Structure 1
Amino acid sequence: MSDDTSGSTGRFGLPQAPGGLCLLQDLLNTAGMAVAPVPDLLDDETTARSWIDASLRTWGEQTGQTPPRIAVSSRDLPALRALRGHVRDWLTGEAEDRTPHPLTAGISFRHGRLAYEPQGNGAVAVASLVHLEALLASHTGTFTRLKTCMNPACGVAFYDMSRNSTRVWHDMKTCGNVMNLRASRARRRGTAAP
């Protein structure tokens, strides 16, 4: 797995999810944090362009494909933020989504293997590639290992490499210990009350 620190996942010091699932993880990790100096990478066109370029480079490395060139503009930002929320809802189970999402992608046979790439540009092309990668990951069983940190102040997306896939914190030191300490204190307060 790549540890590209130029993408949104790299800024949290986390390894990339395998294969094309890295694109979903990177999309989720564009979100900012109110409790830390972490900006939202989809707030303006410049950071969004840098993010998509870095993310597609990583996607190409992870999938062995040539990264597509997708141009995003300020008009795409609301749709990209909505896509991020949509994917987060899938992972957290916050909302059921029975709406079919159209994919606009081309499939070709190159160098002895099938290759795919989104067609079009902007948020539509990003959404097509994200939905395609989510579908592929769900069929390989890797989708359920992409998770968001259970610390409500964090929410960083990570790939759970534990044997039984039971991790709930992106990092035990920064989020797990804090949340476990809070829970322990709350339990002690609850037992001390008459």
Structure 2
Amino acid sequence: MTPRPLVGEPLALDLVNTQWVERGRMVDLFDEPDGLRGWLAEHHLEGDPAAVEPPLREARSALRRVLERPDEDAERGINAILARGASRYTLRDAAVQEQHEVDAGWLPSWRATVNYLDLLRQQPNRIRRCGNPACVLHFYDTSRNGTRRWCSMDGCGARAKAARHYRRQRVTPTA
């Protein structure tokens, strides 16, 4: 399985980040052997990969659309996934119980979409796309001052720093 460039993000962003650009071409983790199965296991999500794959691809597309072009159309895509399930709360032995009623095959997609709503409720301005225009990865900025710009300093951040350094060092001919 191809190693992913950014892991450990909240579920919604991690789903979007199952597609990334590598050497100028788009890579899709779900097209890799056992890529989907591994992603489900990584997030402790259950489901038959054949049954959850189409809904996950739909959710990933809807999430990417709302992240990159937030408009009514993008929100309709998110709402269509949310309509596949609901949460019911009960109180038992002084503890809140939450039960999800979700269409078969849609639970991982629904959870990722609900996670996106949770991020919006917390700090929506911390949901960011990498500052490298060629990168398609998204992250939730947990830095202390909220100024993170790159998906990773080892990858996109280092390339940006190197490019800035090169531009500063380059000698320009005088006329």
- Global fold match (TM > 0.5): yes
Larger strand share, 1 or 2: 2
- For residue 17 of structure 2, what is the amino acid of its counterpart? N
Deviation at 1:165, TM superposition (A): 1.7
In the alignment, structure 1 segments of 5+ residues that lack a partner are 1-7, 58-66
CA–CA distance in 1 between the matches of 2:121 and 2:173?
Answer: 49
CA–CA distance in 2 between the matches of 1:165 and 1:152?
Answer: 20
Q: Name 1:71's counterpart in structure 2.
A: 48
- For residue 70 of structure 1, what is the amino acid of its counterpart? G
TM-score by length of 1: 0.64
Give the paired residue count. Answer: 165
Deviations 1:29-69 (A, max 9, x none): 211433189952211573212212321x2xxxxxxxxx6x3
CA–CA distance in 2 between the matches of 1:134 and 1:158?
Answer: 12
Deviation at 1:95, TM superposition (A): 4.2
TM-score by length of 2: 0.69
Q: 1:157 to 1:163 in 2, by over 3 A?
A: same
- For residue 69 of structure 2, what is the amino acid of its counterpart? E
Instruction: Kindly report which structure 2 residues correspond to 1:1-194, keeping only aligned pairs within 5 A, or say none.
Output: 11-12=4-5, 14=7, 16-17=8-9, 22-35=10-23, 39-43=27-31, 46-55=34-43, 57=44, 69-73=46-50, 76-91=52-67, 93-96=68-71, 97-99=74-76, 100-101=79-80, 102-109=83-90, 112-117=95-100, 119-122=102-105, 124-141=106-123, 143-183=124-164
Deviation at 1:169, TM superposition (A): 0.3
Q: 1:76 to 1:146 in 2, by over 3 A?
A: same
Question: CA RMSD for the aligned pairs?
Answer: 3.6
Q: Which has the higher contact order (CA 8 A, sep 6+)?
A: 2
Q: Calculate percent identity across the aligned residue pairs.
A: 25
Deviation at 1:132, TM superposition (A): 1.6
Q: 1:186 to 1:89 in 2, by over 3 A?
A: farther
